[in-house]
A and B are shown apart, each in its own frame.
Chain A
């Protein structure tokens, strides 16, 4: 049985209430941090833990905190990014609805460490019931003296505000989130300046993912070194993986980073293997925006070594043969899945969610979607494949925010690994457009 840092008490009945959470050792970390530690010590502890941002980019959280500018007389803000809307990722949703106090506790400690007196949780608007749960949790914490003025008599004040978003994927990008939080149109900002210097209301701001913040209380209770001892190499700690697709046991799993991909997919503790009677065709390892890889390349890298569920191992081989851990949205496809249709589906999502600010993303996502639509519906031509590759190259890296890259990678990788399937679609439109048609030439695991 592997270590559970976030989900240890998730199955306890009533854990969403303050009393039960407190009985299980909740808010001890707040007491420890606020009474016995200085903010610098908290930051140091998080730095030692080596925990990396769980929102997708995997940037070390302690580093991010230490970059925060601290000018005199200007407030600092902590913003929790709970605008989780990547197709295939639903871990934050699960965490917030099951154990809301874990996030609240993490927010209190993190805000204390950063010297923020006002912190925000930006939750995507569709999750209204989760917002209610969080609001109730905040009320309870306030009543118990862990939030509000003069927390536990330490003289530290914190106001925690929940802001429902309007349901735009782009508002998960940190600067677009800040714009939206300020009440403006959710367009990503030009960088520099980075949020650590000029963020919310032009003040220094740290934006962290729900899962990242939720780890903080464990780190304070057990020490940064204990956290760093979990995991493998620079991928320390545990990660929530939201597993979906053609597997026997879809759901949210907490894994120790460094678990082998084979074990994650096939062991009964986690996914329970590919849908019984079927075989694995492809895997999206970290949410829809990471490159899709064939099943074989997910289990073993190009050199034949076993792949591990960690930031480094999954991206081993770069874009040619690797993928990314991303936000942990694991989607498995068996042989009945059509890669062309799936790529088109992802493209439709990115076209719909592009904010329309910079031209490569605005026009390119729509273009790719239309071409893929044509191929999927039997009206493609062979030159369309190279066209898609070229368009994705012209979007990638040339946009304001990473949404352009996120839209380009799935298309580019699907063509890189499954070109024959695209060709089959174009050459055999009558067969390919039949309901339930499956490409027979796929290499399965």
Chain B
């Protein structure tokens, strides 16, 4: 038999080359390289088929379409839905155009977001917080009234805060692909579109709790955990149990000796690795229900790791280095160095400044 070699595509993201299988999207190729070059994603969720393309957070610039046709793509493309070509060159954080567009996306997503992080259960593990912190600006130019919604009860376990929603559609895909029947969806259009259930229906099935885990913001939260704790005051622990409905692999969140929350395990991109059932999530809240495997590995830059490890261990977050790097400039000053200050000392400005300076130090 002939030896069949799988064809691999070479892709360059921010100057780093990687080999991936055909059909891979740009974001997956970038994630293969590592978090330094991986574009952020607010709506794309690898386990959910069809997700992505909506938030535009992952926009990248393709400077060469492929080795055969090295023309650049005319517009920024959403990296989560664009498949790679052999020889494709992608610019992510290195392209000022992308950085600028992403700032715009942050601004747009925060436009109608209530910014109620101090009372939001998601704070600390919120993708929008991370995304805005790493890619956005610290001010807003929005002066208008924010859009709000009527409060709606969608079921016994899941709390809906529509004002926080960024309309990523993840919960819709989850309900379609994980549960038996979807009873919620997006109603309305434009900036008044909202997640809602069909008239009078409650989300009630064995896997409905997973919408909480996939929600990137605090729009869908756990009613049994509501206002109980801040994420960074609890300790995540990996555990499992025998469950006839799901795999039973979960994370327990402890406050002291008490299990205050159960969630599915997530990978480094914040994506659920295995969905869990509602019995595991909402009902088994005693340590005796579980077999403990050990502490969950938490990224040291995450706020969840705060107060839990010695300060020596905490790695400086990447963004500070990135900021320093972006603002660092080689000194290119060809002016002659003036050693004697006599000329400067003659100027009026100098005299005024010196007076102020002297009076300040005398005090």
B76 contact set on A, CB distance < 8 A = 397-398
| Most chain A beta carbons < 10 A, residue from B57, B188, B189 | B189
0 or 1 for each of A341-373: is its CB under 8 Å from B? (1 = yes): 000000000011111111110111111001100
**How many Å from the CB of B183 to the closest CB on chain A?**
15
A394 within 8 A of B: yes
Q: How far is the CA of A358 from the CA of B188 in the complex (A)?
A: 14
Q: Which of A170, A354, A398, A400 contacts B191 (CB 8 A)?
A: A354
User: Could you jot down 6 A-B contacts, CB within 8 Å?
Assistant: A190-B53, A356-B186, A359-B56, A360-B108, A362-B191, A363-B191
Contact A351 B55 (CB under 8 A): no
Q: How far is the CA of A42 from the CA of B76 in the complex (A)?
A: 37
The 4 A-B pairs of least Cβ separation, nearest first, read A394-B104, A356-B193, A190-B53, A363-B108
Known contacts A387-B141, A394-B104, A394-B108: does B191 contact A358 (CB below 8 Å)?
no
Across the interface, name the chain B residue whose C-beta is closest to A351: B190
A132 contact set on B, CB distance < 8 A = none
Q: How far is the CA of A397 from the CA of B105 in the complex (A)?
A: 12
Contact A362 B105 (CB under 8 A): no
0 or 1 for each of B57-90: is its CB under 8 Å from A? (1 = yes): 1010000000000000001101001110000000
**Total of A-B residue pairs, C-beta within 8 Å:** 98
Q: Which of A366, A394, A395 contacts B190 (CB 8 A)?
A: A366
A185 within 8 A of B: yes
Q: How far is the CA of A436 from the CA of B192 in the complex (A)?
A: 32
A360 contact set on B, CB distance < 8 A = 56, 104-105, 108
Contact A371 B166 (CB under 8 A): no
Of the four ranges (under 10, 10 to 19, 20 to 34, 35 or more), the interface on chain A belongs to 20 to 34
Across the interface, name the chain B residue whose C-beta is closest to A381: B143
Q: Which of B54, B142, B185, B188 contacts A359 (CB 8 A)?
A: B54
B112 contact set on A, CB distance < 8 A = 363, 366
Q: Which of A358, A367, A395 contacts B111 (CB 8 A)?
A: A367
Q: How far is the CA of A370 from the CA of B186 in the complex (A)?
A: 23
Known contacts A358-B56, A387-B141, A394-B104: does B109 contact A363 (CB below 8 Å)?
yes
| Most chain B beta carbons < 10 A, residue from A190, A362, A363, A398 | A363
Known contacts A185-B185, A367-B144, A370-B144: does B190 contact A359 (CB below 8 Å)?
no
B167 within 8 A of A: yes
Mark out the residues of chain A between 385 and 425 whose CB falls within 8 Å of any chain B CB in the assembled complex: 387, 391, 394-395, 397-400
**How many Å from the CB of A434 to the closest CB on chain B?**
24
Contact B101 A362 (CB under 8 A): no
Contact B190 A358 (CB under 8 A): no
B136 within 8 A of A: no
B52 within 8 A of A: yes
Q: How far is the CA of A399 from the CA of B108 in the complex (A)?
A: 12
B104 contact set on A, CB distance < 8 A = 360, 391, 394-395, 398
**How many Å from the CB of B84 to the closest CB on chain A?**
12
Across the interface, name the chain A residue whose C-beta is closest to B169: A357
A308 within 8 A of B: no
Residues of A within 8 A of B (CB): 168, 170, 185, 190, 192, 351-360, 362-367, 370-371, 374, 387, 391, 394-395, 397-400
**How many Å from the CB of B107 to the closest CB on chain A?**
8
A354 contact set on B, CB distance < 8 A = 189-191
Report the count of interface residues on B (CB-CB < 8 A): 38
B107 contact set on A, CB distance < 8 A = 394
**How many Å from the CB of B158 to the closest CB on chain A?**
22
Known contacts A190-B78, A360-B104, A367-B142: does B109 contact A355 (CB below 8 Å)?
no
Known contacts A397-B76, A398-B76: does B193 contact A362 (CB below 8 Å)?
yes
B167 contact set on A, CB distance < 8 A = 356-357, 359, 362
Q: Which of B54, B190, B193 contacts A365 (CB 8 A)?
A: B190
Known contacts A387-B141, A400-B53, then 7 further A-B pairs from the complex at CB < 8 Å, ordered by chain A residue? A185-B185, A351-B190, A352-B190, A362-B167, A367-B111, A394-B100, A398-B76
Known contacts A356-B167, A397-B75, A398-B101: does B191 contact A366 (CB below 8 Å)?
yes
Q: How far is the CA of A361 from the CA of B81 in the complex (A)?
A: 18
**How many Å from the CB of B136 to the closest CB on chain A?**
12
Q: How far is the CA of A371 from the CA of B142 in the complex (A)?
A: 9
Q: How far is the CA of A364 from the CA of B142 in the complex (A)?
A: 11
**How many Å from the CB of B82 to the closest CB on chain A?**
8
Q: Which of A190, A357, A371 contacts B144 (CB 8 A)?
A: A371
Contact B54 A357 (CB under 8 A): yes
**How many Å from the CB of A193 to the closest CB on chain B?**
10
Across the interface, name the chain B residue whose C-beta is closest to A366: B191
**How many Å from the CB of A270 to the closest CB on chain B?**
35
Across the interface, name the chain B residue whose C-beta is closest to A363: B108
A365 contact set on B, CB distance < 8 A = 190-191
**How many Å from the CB of A384 to the closest CB on chain B?**
9
Across the interface, name the chain B residue whose C-beta is closest to A397: B75
Contact B59 A398 (CB under 8 A): yes
Known contacts A356-B186, A387-B141, A398-B101: does B111 contact A363 (CB below 8 Å)?
yes
**How many Å from the CB of A71 to the closest CB on chain B?**
18
Q: How far is the CA of A399 from the CA of B190 in the complex (A)?
A: 13
Contact B190 A362 (CB under 8 A): yes
Across the interface, name the chain A residue whose C-beta is closest to B81: A190
Q: How far is the CA of A365 from the CA of B192 in the complex (A)?
A: 12
| Most chain B beta carbons < 10 A, residue from A185, A354, A398 | A398
Contact A358 B186 (CB under 8 A): no
Q: How far is the CA of A358 from the CA of B55 in the complex (A)?
A: 5
Across the interface, name the chain B residue whose C-beta is closest to A371: B144
Contact B56 A399 (CB under 8 A): yes
**How many Å from the CB of A404 to the closest CB on chain B?**
10
B142 contact set on A, CB distance < 8 A = 367
Contact A359 B141 (CB under 8 A): no
Mark out the residues of chain B between 104 and 141 whose CB falls within 8 Å of any chain A CB in the assembled complex: 104-105, 107-109, 111-112, 141
Contact B166 A359 (CB under 8 A): yes
**How many Å from the CB of B316 to the closest CB on chain A?**
31
Mark out the residues of chain B between 166 and 203 whose CB falls within 8 Å of any chain A CB in the assembled complex: 166-167, 169, 185-186, 188-193
Across the interface, name the chain A residue whose C-beta is closest to B74: A397
**How many Å from the CB of A43 to the closest CB on chain B?**
26
0 or 1 for each of B184-226: is its CB under 8 Å from A? (1 = yes): 0110111111000000000000000000000000000000000
Q: How far is the CA of A352 from the CA of B169 in the complex (A)?
A: 20
A399 contact set on B, CB distance < 8 A = 56
Contact A364 B108 (CB under 8 A): yes
Q: How far is the CA of A370 from the CA of B185 in the complex (A)?
A: 27
B78 contact set on A, CB distance < 8 A = 190, 400
Q: How far is the CA of A398 from the CA of B185 in the complex (A)?
A: 25
A364 contact set on B, CB distance < 8 A = 108
B185 contact set on A, CB distance < 8 A = 185
Q: How far is the CA of A278 from the CA of B192 in the complex (A)?
A: 41
**How many Å from the CB of A149 to the closest CB on chain B?**
37
Q: How far is the CA of A360 from the CA of B108 in the complex (A)?
A: 6
A367 contact set on B, CB distance < 8 A = 108, 111, 142, 144
Known contacts A185-B185, A387-B141: does B55 contact A359 (CB below 8 Å)?
yes
